[in-house]
Chains A and B, each alone.
Chain A
Amino acid sequence: MNYRMNATVAIGRHRLRESLIHPGYYISLTISLLVGYAFVAAFVRSIDSSGFNYHANPLYDFVGGVLSGAFGSTVLSRVFADGPFLFAMNVSFLPVLLYLAMTSVYRFGTEKSSGAIELLTYGPSDGTSYFLGSLAKDVLLSAAALLALFLFYCFAGIVDNIAVTPRLLEEVFLLFFSAIAIFAYGILVSSVTDSANSALALFLAGFVLLAVSLVGSYAIVGGYVRSLSAIAAWIVQWFSPFFYWSLGTRAAIAGEFGGFALGIIGLIVLVVAVLTASHFIIRSRGVRP
């Protein structure tokens, strides 16, 4: 156990150093912050004497139109009940999240097919410590990105007199654990595929499928549907990080701490389950392509 831990720390540290001397992470974080800035600046311009008028700014006119068209005005008013930060935090974290997850998946696949991981396993390491090291790097970098975004919004709140509420902090925690679950899924698809391209394609397909399933569950419907697809979507949701994220976010917006905690616990359980599955797959399949 100890040797695996040492190997994980060593691999994680090495991967972290690599990421920090590479421009990719900085660029994705800058894009995230600029997206956040765009939403804050547009929000400030959408305020009139009666409150937040999303028609007053083209960006929010588009966002508001999409949200109220797809999910109804109730969802729109809830998302912006405290201001722009909740929505902006979720959207602006996406570039960093996708960058970290996709590069890790691709690299896992590349190193697997080139035999680099196999080489490591002849030393004081194994497949599990390799993916745990990679996960540790992603966790640390996503935590740093979330912290940077949170501080940025706090500063924007002071500058523009926008409220930073506990709901934003709760959202940061939810996003953090959701990100870990997504990274864990990245590891799982890398374990079951043989090439970098197929791993990336499978990861993106899964990501889109789970996201669409979540969007579908929030879409305005005309009736109480109990079709086969609805039942399938109901089953899929228990394996989806987006489901637990939405559970926690809904509870956070409603001020229900129990629901929020349930969302976090669900995400932790999901991470443990997916990583355990990845461990056994790697152990049985090995790290050769």
Chain B
Amino acid sequence: MRASEMRKRNSYRVRVAFAMIVLILGVGTVLYADVPLREEQFIYSIVSFNGRDYGGTFVRQDSGTFYLMAGTDNFVSARKTLVYYWPITANYRVDTQTLNHQFDGTLHIRGNGVDIRLRQEQYTYYNLRGTYELNWEVAKGQEAEKVFQDYQKMVTDYQNGLLEYQKELSDYQDSMNSLGAQIIRLSNQGKDVAKLVEQLKALKQPREPAQASSKYAMPPTRLQHAFIVNLKPGLYKVEFLNPDGSTMEGSEKQLIVFAEHAANRVGYDVIPGDKWTRPESSTMPGSVLYIDGSTDLYLRPFFETEYNDLYYEKLLSNDARGNPNATQWVKLQQVPAARIAVTGAGKTESVTEEDFRVQQLQGATLGYQIVPYVQSTTDPYAKPDLIAYRIPIASGETVVHIAGRVSNGDPLPGSRRQIRVIASPGPETLLIVLALLPLMIMAIALRARSRRYSK
């Protein structure tokens, strides 16, 4: 009796132990899958100009090279942080919330005829509003502080102005209401209200203060410290020197500074009438665009610049991959106030930018049509769905040439394209017969040869 009780108790213990092992292993597995391993590393944090704007990346310990654009101010800082691999997006990330220590020291850059030691500087960068909206400015040192303080003053002034405006607006509305009520009361009593009406007319609605950031397409960033690197194209060696002059372990990297292959060419966003949500791009100057001609095209010209594919991808993200022997066109910004000269069937017409509205088709047919936009009288907030240049692809038109022009009629470089309509395959039997022609010639040659031998 006692032995069987012992056996039962032992069997119960084994089951509990087994259940606990399964539970621990299970929980362990889940924890292991959810929390990637964070490794403390020395990194270079990079804020670099990419032709359009400023973007950030970081150079982890295993990466031997980083990339910057020539002739632009780029901001490099040396930090200790936690680096981890994030499998969902398949890239490395930094956990700066847990550890983000910026080192004080010197950045030593040498190579390509240069040997410089940079100290960290205070900086801010901002984009001024203008026609092209690519007016990036960098302020350093004292100037950075002044720019940032000016901006903060502008914000404070705006906030104060806004408070004043709201007070004035409230006073104005009170005066309006009070005068309005008086005018109604007195006119009901049959009294003269001319003076009051004059007073009402003389009331001026207060003006809303201008936005603090109206001067900026992007206001100055908060003041930071970094090494400001602005170099000519070439290959450099970089190392971070501690305050005592020693080299920080793991800080030696290669730096590739590159320039554009071609600049200020024009590409097009190509929006077919039946797929307006999925625009394609035509970036190669002088290339040919083939379409089936089933719908009109809507184009949006943009300025573009050509860079080495690998260098540019690495500039955006140091972990990216790219092709070292190929180039890519980078879209910068839409061409303002342009015209497109469309040549087809012996005549040229100039197309300007228009507003369009996308209209859902009625009935069982799924789809929509793009129609010219007319400003709504009932909805003052209504906006066009599409602002583009409409290229009519008339039936029967097989080749259309397009070329961009600026507002004064001067041609836009690299904006020429051919549009060719391939509605359906041509007579393919002809091509097959042509492809088989050598076999026919062979048959004739062999026949002639055998005749000659038989003779």
Contacts and interface: CB of A to CB of B under 8 A. Distances in A.
B323 A220 contact: yes
Interface string B406-442: 0000000000001011100111101110111111011
Interface stretch (A157-165, A175-183, A191-199, A268-276): A157-165
B334 interface: no
B256 A224 contact: yes
Q: Do most interface residues of chain A lie in helix, strand or loop, or is the interface mixed?
A: helix
A124 interface: no
Interface stretch (B132-140, B280-288, B336-344): B280-288
A26 B322 contact: no
Given A163-B288, A218-B326, A37 B432 contact: yes
Contacts of B287: 81-82
Contact of B326 (A78, A81, A83, A165): A78
Contacts of A258: none
Contacts, number: 157
Q: Do most interface residues of chain B lie in helix, strand or loop, or is the interface mixed?
A: mixed
Interface in A6-30: 20-21, 23, 25-27, 29-30
A266 interface: no
B102 interface: no
A155 B288 contact: no
B322 A44 contact: no
Contact of A47 (B285, B290, B319, B326): B290
Given A74-B328, A224-B254, A41 B431 contact: yes
A21 B445 contact: yes
B455 to A, nearest CB: 15
A49 B325 contact: no
Interface residues of A, number: 53
B247 interface: no
Interface string B215-247: 000000000000000000000000000000000
A219 interface: yes
A71 B425 CA distance: 30
B399 interface: yes
Contacts of A2: none
Given A27-B442, A162-B290, 10 more contacts: A21-B449, A33-B438, A48-B292, A50-B270, A83-B290, A152-B431, A161-B426, A162-B420, A218-B326, A224-B314
28 contacts: A25-B438, A27-B442, A34-B436, A51-B270, A51-B291, A52-B290, A71-B323, A71-B326, A72-B323, A74-B326, A74-B328, A75-B323, A78-B326, A81-B288, A83-B290, A152-B434, A161-B420, A161-B422, A161-B426, A221-B310, A221-B323, A223-B63, A223-B64, A224-B64, A224-B65, A224-B256, A255-B285, A255-B286
Interface of A: 20-21, 23, 25-27, 29-30, 33-34, 36-37, 40-41, 44-45, 47-52, 71-72, 74-75, 77-78, 81-83, 148, 152, 155-156, 159-163, 165, 217-224, 246, 250, 253, 255
Interface of B: 63-65, 254, 256, 270-275, 278-280, 282-292, 294-295, 309-310, 314, 319-328, 398-399, 418, 420-422, 425-428, 430-432, 434-439, 441-442, 445-446, 449
